[in-house]
Amino acid sequence: MFGARCLLRALRSCSSAPCPRHRPAARVSVRGALGIQSANGERVKVQGWIRSVRSQKEVLFLHVNDGSSLESLQVVADSSFDSRELAFGSSVEVQGQLVKSPSKKQNVELKAEKIEVVGNCDAKAFPVKYKERHPLEYLRQYPHLRCRTNVLGSVLRVRSEATAAIHSFFKDSGFVHIHTPVITSNDCEGAGELFQVEPSSKIKVPEENFFNIPVFLTVSGQLHLEVMSGISYTEAVEILKQASQNFTFTPEWGADLHTEHEKYLVKHCGDIPVFVINYPLALKPFYMRDNEDGPQHTVAAVDLLVPGVGELFGGSLREERYHFLEQRLARLGLTEAYQWYLDLRRFGSVPHGGFGMGFERYLQCILGIDNIKDVIPFPRFTHSCLL
């Protein structure tokens, strides 16, 4: 983005010689323009969407926003610029001079010399209306247009920043990022409520199943992360803090009524990270343990495939324990499907544990957004898969 400092440097460099009139105007973001403390006629070009139009007898006022700032830039133009095309929602490119604004509402405004309409907007048909604060439920009908509003634009930006922060946290803590698969033949939680994946009828494959076996959208990457606990053997302080340093950030699907959305889960095996300290108890899933262990209220978790065999994960893997797990899987009729799971425990298993955090629930919590559909760029749920 072309910031204010950049612009000032560019302008300063031409201050010793008179700027020729034909020098192209420096492009500046709305944020950059608004950040200039004492505007003095700098020639700039601003691109953005019209957020308001006010037409007076001799002057035309536009507010232009490009997404770089919640605030818009006031454009002041001669009324001769007025045109039906300068409508709410249209995208424009404005060239002119940045000057000190006579109004107290803003420091700076753009005196237009040239206004070009880049993309017309049929403001009557545009579902986003001028000056209206649309309810989130209303905007949900227009997933292709709602990012043009302040609220959704902000939510998506916070989502992006939160994603980056989580990636940074794990990277800085020495974790390895693993892309766990979206398609799986595992039925991890035994829930049976899964989405099946099959080639559409247009694909000609002689077999009944493209992959030879039925496959599903994953409901959890935890088993795949367990596999990856073999990538490094790291600090093991106690069972709930033992680290296999890998994590994933993969969408997961459950088909039950409460979690039918695409969910991005932050999963990791290892030390309890910073952001789980003070994790809201109300959002705590059943498998997270309430530590109640100090001034900072923390939760921790070990998520187990087979309940009651927690001791398998810590300490030495003695033969009798292995056989206990073997028999349990046999009783469930899972021996063949989960031979690999037994294998992990046959060939030098190490203590490991972890937890999952619903990324969207986390976003709801920090943003105060009631409905999970409003923190997902393109939500999918029963009866709805728009776009």
Residues 274-303 binding its own copies (CB under 8 A) are none
Of 203, 208, 282, 294, the residue at the interface with its own copies (CB under 8 A) is 203
Q: Would you tell me how many other CB atoms lie within 10 Å of the CB of residue 15? A: 8
Q: Would you tell me how many other CB atoms lie within 10 Å of the CB of residue 126? A: 16
Q: What angle do CA 326, 331, 332 make, to 5 degrees?
A: 100
Residue count at the site for its own copies (CB under 8 A)?
113
Residue 348 interacts with its own copies (CB under 8 A)?
yes
Nearest partner of 354 among 281, 265, 282, judged by Cα: 265
State the minimum distance, in angstroms, from the CB of residue 279 to its own copies: 22
Residue 318, SS3?
coil
C-alpha to C-alpha distance for 57 and 79, rounded to whole angstroms = 7
Of 21, 206, 316, 336, the residue at the interface with its own copies (CB under 8 A) is 316
Of 14, 59, 70, 231, the residue at the interface with its own copies (CB under 8 A) is 231
Among positions 62-121, residues that touch its own copies (CB under 8 A) are 66-68, 89-91, 116-121
Nearest partner of 367 among 154, 170, 187, 184, judged by Cα: 154
Q: Which is nearer to its own copies, 95 or 100 (CB)?
A: 95
Residue 140 interacts with its own copies (CB under 8 A)?
no
Contact of 28 with 7, CB cutoff 8 Å: yes
Of 7, 39, 115, 223, the residue at the interface with its own copies (CB under 8 A) is 223
State the minimum distance, in angstroms, from the CB of residue 281 to its own copies: 27
State the minimum distance, in angstroms, from the CB of residue 90 to its own copies: 5
Q: Encoding tokens for residue 231?
A: 């990538």
Give Rg (Cα) of the chain. 28
Would you mind telling me the total number of residues written for the chain in this entry? 387
Among positions 143-172, residues that touch its own copies (CB under 8 A) are 143-145, 147-148, 153, 156-157, 159-160, 163-164, 167, 171
Residue 235 interacts with its own copies (CB under 8 A)?
yes
